[in-house]
Structure formats: structure tokens, C-alpha cells
């Protein structure tokens, strides 16, 4: 669930990409949770056709997932099958990171691959044939069509092997009704019940892991599945009609020509960016060797990582880490002993027996340190140096501490410490517990960090700042376009003015975009990592 | 005046010296924190750690021994006081604390012992400025009130205009 400003940012992104009508439908789903088409029509007060078209656009661009569930009928009536739609806020926010994803692909695989990947970013979903057609269209003039098939196949396979692209999930999976016991447990926590429904829908839609990145089967008969008997509906069908209870045998999406559709696998990019963030933080906080060693661990364990927010790296032998580190230019001069020392600096404990030394890095701790650094920076700016010391003490100790102890450890006068603590408590940074002592008529105040509240506040502020940057970007562009329209077709002198104006707008755009990218790294640190 | 019962007066004959528990500890003078003395000790500790040529790390005992050997302060400074100051400097991000594994630069220090060293990078820069501060709070002090349809908005904000005003 996104915070208030996160929702506004998501709505702004949809509005920029797809227009106001699609934005209205998407915002309705973001604010109200999974809804049927009828409910969306009622809440948005749009026509049925407009809602249908908007939903199709959102599904095609991976911003909404449809699913069917069985709902109990009224008195004496049989159960009803209903299609519901749920917004995917994370995927919507990922749209603003497309330049980063493109840059990763371009750096790793080159321009041809980046071009093919860009098509998937622009269009949301494409089959291999559609990718081929797009590539051929683009390179028609240069006469490269003869080699286009090989180029596209090769690069498409590279992207799939690296898990940067995946087969699209099923467009409308059926969720089996929950058993009675599970239903009661779900009802007892309403907020969790919605989460469970959404998680179940995503899990049901996802293709099997063994098929998810498989390109070979997709290339049979030029990318078309050999299924002549199928009369299954395609993505362009009007949604919301009753579905047959017999589930489709395929667990991935196809288009009207029965070609398998592919999309960007956001999960893999977030994993890579998480690794990059951890390496950067460790390099800055410890030293460059620790960064090289951590980077080597990530490379060596890439295929074994099962989820994005993994708490620890996969345990690896010291020799494996060393061999991986040696592959890089910076790591060639390292010795085994230096690698071992770097692992200890990264928080690993040396094994007592030197046989089969395996090491695993606590990534959760590294991410927490990076997040804490961001929050401490805010505390320092807003409340001053003494508050910064107090905040760091409470953040590091992770337990309740008495006022006197805080005052003596941080060398802050008790009355000043109390003032600061109360200010932080008022702003929801800290928890306060008063412990009374009747005999001595004394009250002891215990303080600890209100981590959840602070982290949520900071993330919401980041979304707010990102939205403001986006709005300003749009404003600057609109303003420049108006001025350029006025200057168009004027005399030579005014043509120079137009050129100066364009340069000024480009410079402003670069500053705003660069600032946005830095802020987005921080947003990912708090939300995605 | 004792910290925990501050406000309560204690009376003592002039020929006696009150204990540290009554006066508030070794860092207090006349009931107030002796910030001058604390800052002096902090500066000396930082200097000692910065100037370490070979090891680049120091334990609390190592810093205390250096104090004692070179008589760096007029007032006697105990090992306990040096430890407290170093811990406070860690909270200020002036130095960082690590546990020795007796490898590399820690080869002369016992395993598990806490050591102190300067953080990497420019020591004069201070703690790292986060993204939100560098992009938002520093440039837009009234960001909390800035909304897309409010009186203060990104499109009308003078701070934005000033920030983007290239000459």
C-alpha cells in the first residue's frame, strides 16, 4: 500500500503516460483496492466503454492485474464468478525508473539489445515477432533486414537469460475459494485479508519458474504456439464477462495470434539496483576492497538468489569469493588474506575451524545503515547536532533508554536533552514510556525509536519531493513550449533567442532529472530494497 | 547537585569535598556540563587517531596511554573518561568503531576488542547529507506546505525559480 503522496505520484505518472481518463480509473483502483468493472464505472462516473479501454491499457502496461473469484450468491442463488481488477502500485512507480533500467541493459549488452529492450518499455508487452517487426521497421533504411532475425533472436535470448525480461503472467487467473478455516483467519485481520487476496492473485497469475524465462519454446513456428484447437479469448476481449470454471491450461499471456507475450521483469532490475546500492554504501563506509568483495559475492550468487529482499547473501566459500573478485581489474591485486579481512569488516565472523570457510553477508543490516544515514541527515538538519547524537544513540541501541543515561552518554545537559526528546516525540520520531515509582515519588522516562513511523514519514516526504520535481519538470517544458511557439518563424536575432531558450530549458531539464534520479535512489532504498 | 534529583539542595561543611555522585560526575563543574573540557578532550582524541601513521586504528586504552604519556591535559583524565568521550564521538560520526579480527591493520589488537578509526573520505565534510536534504529541505524550506494545487506549489514556488535560475 502506498503512502498518500506515493498515491499522488503514481496517479501523476499514469496521467503523464496515458492521459486523464486512464488516470481516473487507475486512481480509483489505487485508493479503493480490487474492484469489478461495474464498481469502477460507478465510482469514476465514466462510461462502460471508457472504463474497459482504460483497464485494457493498464493491463497491457502491467499496471493492473485482473483475476476472477467466486462470490457467494444471494439467498437460494448459486455462487457468482466475478472478475476483479487490482492496481499494481510498484509497477506504476517503476515507470519513472525506465531510464535506469535502459542504462543497465545498454551497459551490459550494448546498443542493439537496449533498442529491443526499449520496445518492451514503451509498449508494455510484445511478442518475439512484434519485437522483430519493430526492429525491422526501425532499420529499414539502413538495409539491415537480412541480419535482423539473428540480431533480434540473439539479443532477446540474452535479455531472457539475464532475466531482464519474462513471459507475461496469465491475464485472468481464477482464485480458488478459501477453505473455511483460512477464511476465518483472513476475516480476523481485514487489512491482511486484502493483502492476501492481492498476493494470491499475483501468485496465481505468475508463470511457472521453469517457463518464466524460456525463449526456446516461444520460437517454434516463428513464435506462434502450435495450438489450432484453442478458441481462447485474447487480451482484446471485453473483460468482465462470466468465465468458464475450467481454467486455461497455459499459465502465461498470449496475444490474438497466440504468440507468447513478453514484458520487462522489474524484479531483476530492482535486485541489481539493490546490489549496486549495497556496494556503494559499503565502499563509502568501509573501503573500496570491501566494495569489490561484496560485488564479487553478488556476482557469484546471482543465480541462487530467490527473492529481491533477501536478508543475507547465499553462503559462499572463501575461495569462490576470491576467484570471483580476481576476475575484475580492481580485484586482481587482492590476496586471500585481504579478502578475509574485508569479509570481517563486512560483519562476518571468522570460523573457528578453518575447514570449509563459508561466508554470508548481512544485507538487511547494510540496508538499515544506509536508511538510518538518510534519516539521521534529516534529524541533523531539522533539530541540530545534539538531537543527531541522541537519535543515533537510540537508533543503535534499539532498546528503551532512560533520560539520564541519554544525557550522560551524549554529553547533552539534561534539561536540553529533555527538550529535544519531547520535540522528537511530538513529531513521532520516538516512543515514550513513563515508569512511575510510588515510593520515591519519581517518574522515570524511557525513550526508544519509533522506527516504523519515522521510516514511513521519510518515504512519504520523498514521494512528495519526487512529485514536486515531476510537476516542475512539466511546468518548465510547457512554459518553454509556449515561448518557443511565440519565437517560431521570427527574424534571425529572435532565432538566436530561441536557441538560447532551448539551451536554458535543456539545462533546467538536466538538473531536474538528475535530482529526480538521486531522490529515486533514496525512494528505492526505503521501499524496494 | 545530583542529576537524578536535580532541584534538591544538599548542604555540606566547607572542609569537605562532595563526591562525584553528588556533583553530577567528572564532566560537571558547579552542576553544569563542562563543555569546554569535553570539546578539548574530543579534539585531542581525534588528533591522536588521525595522526596514526602505521596502525590507523586505536583502542580506548591506546588513546588513554597516549594521553598519560604526553600529559596532554592539565586535569587528570581517566581511562573511563576517554572511553566515554570516544563513544560520544562515534555518535557524532567523527570516528567509527569496529571490532578487531586480528587481521590486516588490526593484527596487533586482540580479537573482539573495540577499536576506533577515522571514517573514510574527507574528514572535514562531516556526516553525509542525505538525498532528501540535499534535494529538498536545503533548497525548499517550506516543502511540507508545497502541494500541486496549493498557495505554494511547484509551478509557482520562488525557491524553485531561484534554484533553476541559470545565468
The 3-class secondary structure across A186-229, one letter per residue, is HHHCHHHHHHHHHHHHHHHHCCCHHHHCCCCHHHHHHHECCCCC
Measured between beta carbons, the chain A residues lying within 8 angstroms of B135 are 465, 469, 515, 518-519
Give, in order, the Cα–Cα distances in Å from A156 to each of A129, A135, A271.
Answer: 11, 12, 20
Q: Give percent above pLDDT 90 in chain A.
A: 50
Distance in Å, alpha carbon of A383 to nearest chain B alpha carbon: 13
**Range among A18-27, A331-340, B43-52 rated most confident:** A18-27
Inter-CA distances, A445 with A49, A432, A453, B37, Å? 61, 7, 20, 29
Residue closest to A386 by CA, chosen among A347, A426, A413: A413
Contact status, residue A113 vs residue A155, Cβ threshold 8 Å: yes
Summarize the confidence of residues B139-151 as an average pLDDT: 72
- What gap in Å lies between CA A310 and CA A525, rounded to an integer? 14
Cβ-contact A192, A186 below 8 angstroms: yes
Contact B164 A404 (CB under 8 A): no
Chain A residues in contact with B160 by the CB 8 A cut-off are 472
Residue of B nearest to A479 (CA): B155
Give the H or E element holding residue A273.
helix A266-285
Lowest mean pLDDT across A196-210, A391-405, B1-15? B1-15
Overall average pLDDT of the A321-342 stretch? 89
- A40 in Cβ contact with A85 (< 8 Å): yes
Three-state SS for A395? helix
Comparing A183-187, A364-368, A416-420, A476-480, the range with the smallest average pLDDT is A183-187
Q: Do B133 and A378 touch (CB under 8 A)?
A: yes
**Mean per-residue pLDDT of chain A:** 84
Measured distance CA(B61)–CA(B63) in Å, rounded: 5
- To the nearest whole angstrom, how far is the Cα of B135 from the nearest Cα of chain A? 6
Yes or no, beta carbons of A504 and B166 under 8 Å apart: yes
The 10 Å Cβ neighbour count of residue B55 is 16
Pairing assessment for the beta strands B32-33 and B28-29 based on DSSP bridges = antiparallel
**Greater pLDDT, A46 or A224:** A46
Query: What does the pLDDT read at residue A184?
Result: 56
Q: How confident is the model at residue A51 (pLDDT cuts 50, 70, 90)?
A: very high
Cβ <8 Å between B137 and A382: yes
Distance between CA atoms of B125 and A151, rounded to whole angstroms? Answer: 50
Q: What is the mean pLDDT of residues A303-321?
A: 87
Q: How many Cα atoms within 13 Å fall on the side-chain side of residue B91?
A: 27
Q: What does the pLDDT read at residue A237?
A: 37
CA distances from B106 to A365, A440, A472, A508, B160 (A): 23, 48, 51, 49, 49
Interchain contact, A508 vs B166, CB within 8 Å: yes
Rama region for A124: left / alpha / beta (φ>0; ψ in -120 to 50; rest): left
Report pLDDT for A228: 38
DSSP 8-class letter at B136: I
Nearest to B132 among A341, A410, A522 (CB): A522
Contacts of B62 (CB under 8 A, 6+ apart): none
Beta-carbon separation of A476 and B38 below 8 A: no
- B-chain residues within 8 Å CB-CB of A392? 91, 93
pLDDT of residue A441: 66
Quick one: pLDDT at residue A249?
A: 41
Q: What is the ipTM of this complex?
A: 0.81
| pLDDT the model gives residue B1 | 38
Supply the mean pLDDT for chain B: 75
- Select from B4, B32, B103 the Cβ nearest to the Cβ of A341: B103
Of B4, B35, B166, the CB nearest to A507: B166
Residue A358 has pLDDT above 60, yes or no: yes
Burial class of A185 by CB neighbour count within 10 A (0 to 12, 13 to 18, 19+): middle
C-alpha of B2 from chain center: 24
Which residues does residue A442 pair with via DSSP β-bridges, in sequence order? A437
Query: Which grid cell is B79?
Result: 581511562
In terms of average pLDDT, the best of A197-201, B26-30, B73-77 is A197-201
| Residues of B in Cβ contact (< 8 Å) with A472 | 154-155, 157, 160, 164
Q: Which of A341, A377, A464 has the CB atom closest to B127's CB atom?
A: A377
Q: What is the distance in angstroms between the Cα of B146 and the nearest Cα belonging to chain A?
A: 8
Q: Provide the pairing of β-strand A442-449 with A401-402.
A: antiparallel
Q: Is 70 exceeded by the pLDDT of residue A316? A: yes
Q: What is the pLDDT of residue A242?
A: 35
Lowest mean pLDDT among A182-186, A354-358, A419-423: A182-186
pLDDT band per the 50, 70, 90 thresholds, residue A188: low
Radius of gyration from C-alpha coordinates of chain A: 27
**A350 CB within 8 Å of a chain B CB:** yes
B contacts of A388 (beta carbons < 8 Å): 92, 127
Residue A373 has its nearest CB partner, among B104, B128, B148, at B128
Mutate to test the interface with A, among B131, B156, B167 (most CBs of A within 10 A): B131
Q: Write down the pLDDT at residue B11.
A: 66
Distance, CA of A255 to chain centre = 26
Summarize the confidence of residues A16-33 as an average pLDDT.
95
Amino acid at each position: 500500500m502506498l503512502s498518500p503522496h506515493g498515491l499522488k505520484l503514481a496517479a501523476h505518472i499514469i496521467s503523464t503516460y496515458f492521459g486523464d481518463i486512464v488516470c481516473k480509473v487507475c486512481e480509483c483502483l489505487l485508493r479503493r483496492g480490487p474492484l469489478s468493472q461495474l464498481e469502477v464505472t460507478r465510482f469514476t462516473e465514466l462510461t462502460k466503454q471508457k472504463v474497459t479501454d482504460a483497464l485494457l491499457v493498464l493491463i497491457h502496461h502491467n499496471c493492473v492485474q485482473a483475476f476472477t473469484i467466486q462470490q457467494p450468491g444471494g439467498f437460494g442463488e448459486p455462487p457468482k464468478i466475478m472478475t476483479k481488477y487490482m492496481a499494481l502500485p510498484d509497477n506504476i512507480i517503476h515507470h519513472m525508473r525506465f531510464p535506469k533500467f535502459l542504462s543497465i541493459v545498454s551497459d551490459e549488452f550494448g546498443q542493439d539489445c537496449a533498442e529491443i529492450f526499449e520496445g518492451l518499455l514503451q509498449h508494455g508487452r510484445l511478442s518475439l515477432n512484434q519485437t522483430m517487426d519493430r526492429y525491422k521497421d526501425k532499420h529499414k533504411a539502413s538495409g539491415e533486414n537480412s541480419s535482423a532475425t539473428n540480431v533480434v533472436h540473439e539479443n532477446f535470448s540474452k535479455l531472457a537469460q539475464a532475466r531482464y525480461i519474462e513471459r507475461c503472467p496469465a491475464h485472468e487467473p481464477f482464485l480458488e475459494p478459501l477453505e473455511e478455516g483460512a477464511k476465518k483467519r483472513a476475516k480476523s485481520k481485514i487489512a491482511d485479508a486484502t493483502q492476501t487476496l492481492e498476493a494470491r492473485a499475483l501468485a496465481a497469475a505468475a508463470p511457472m519458474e521453469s517457463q518464466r524465462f524460456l525463449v526456446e519454446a516461444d520460437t517454434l513456428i516463428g513464435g506462434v504456439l502450435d495450438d489450432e484447437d484453442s478458441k481462447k479469448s485474447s487480451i482484446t476481449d471485453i473483460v468482465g464477462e462470466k468465465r468458464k470454471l475450467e481454467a486455461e491450461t497455459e499459465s502465461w499471456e498470449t496475444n490474438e495470434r497466440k504468440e507468447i507475450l513478453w514484458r520487462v521483469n522489474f524484479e531483476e532490475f530492482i535486485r541489481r539496483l539493490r546490489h549496486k546500492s549495497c556496494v556503494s554504501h559499503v565502499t563509502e563506509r568501509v573501503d573500496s576492497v570491501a566494495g569489490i568483495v561484496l560485488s564479487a559475492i553478488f556476482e557469484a550468487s546471482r543465480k541462487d538468489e530467490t527473492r529481491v529482499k533477501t536478508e543475507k547473501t547465499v553462503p559462499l566459500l572463501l575461495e569462490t569469493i576470491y576467484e570471483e573478485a580476481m576476475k575484475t581489474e580492481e580485484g586482481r591485486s587482492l590476496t586471500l588474506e585481504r579478502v578475509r579481512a574485508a569479509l570481517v569488516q563486512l560483519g562476518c565472523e571468522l570460523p573457528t575451524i578453518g575447514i570449509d570457510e563459508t561466508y554470508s553477508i548481512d544485507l538487511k543490516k547494510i540496508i538499515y545503515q544506509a536508511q538510518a544515514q538518510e534519516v539521521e541527515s534529516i534529524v541533523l538538519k531539522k533539530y541540530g547536532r545534539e538531537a543527531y547524537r541522541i537519535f543515533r544513540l537510540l537508533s543503535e541501541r534499539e532498546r528503551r533508554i532512560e533520560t539520564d543515561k541519554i544525557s550522560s552518554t551524549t554529553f547533552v545537559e539534561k534539561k536540553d536533552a529533555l527538550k529535544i526528546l519531547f520535540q522528537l516525540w511530538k513529531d513521532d520520531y520516538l516512543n515514550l514510556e513513563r515508569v512511575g515509582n510510588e515510593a520515591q515519588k519519581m517518574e522515570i522516562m524511557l525513550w526508544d525509536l519509533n522506527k516504523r513511523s519515522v521510516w514511513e514519514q521519510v518515504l512519504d516526504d520523498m514521494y512528495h519531493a519526487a512529485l514536486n520535481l515531476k510537476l516542475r519538470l512539466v511546468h518548465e517544458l510547457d512554459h518553454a513550449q509556449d515561448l518557443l511557439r511565440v519565437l517560431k518563424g521570427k527574424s534571425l536575432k529572435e532565432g538566436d533567442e530561441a536557441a538560447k531558450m532551448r539551451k536554458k530549458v535543456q539545462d533546467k531539464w538536466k538538473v531536474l532529472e538528475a535530482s529526480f534520479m538521486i531522490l529515486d535512489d533514496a525512494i528505492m532504498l526505503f521501499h524496494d530494497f | 547537585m545530583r542529576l537524578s534529583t536535580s532541584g534538591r539542595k544538599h548542604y555540606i561543611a566547607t572542609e569537605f569535598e562532595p563526591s562525584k555522585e553528588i556533583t553530577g560526575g567528572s564532566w560537571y563543574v558547579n552542576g553544569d556540563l563542562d563543555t569546554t573540557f569535553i570539546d578539548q578532550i574530543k579534539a585531542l582524541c581525534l588528533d591522536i587517531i588521525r595522526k596514526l601513521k602505521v596502525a590507523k586504528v586505536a583502542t580506548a586504552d591506546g588513546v588513554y596511554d597516549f594521553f598519560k604519556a604526553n600529559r596532554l591535559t592539565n586535569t587528570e583524565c581517566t581511562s573511563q573518561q576517554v572511553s566515554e568521550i570516544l563513544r560520544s564521538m562515534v555518535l557524532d560520526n567523527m570516528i567509527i568503531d569496529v571490532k578487531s579480527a586480528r587481521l590486516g591493520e588490526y593484527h596487533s589488537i586482540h580479537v573482539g576488542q573495540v577499536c576506533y578509526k577515522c571514517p573514510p573520505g574527507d574528514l572535514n565534510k562531516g556526516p553525509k547529507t542525505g538525498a532528501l536534504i540535499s534535494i529538498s529541505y536545503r533548497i525548499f524550506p517550506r516543502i511540507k506546505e508545497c502541494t500541486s494545487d496549493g498557495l505554494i506549489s511547484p509551478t509557482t514556488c520562488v525557491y524553485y525559480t531561484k534554484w533553476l535560475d541559470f545565468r
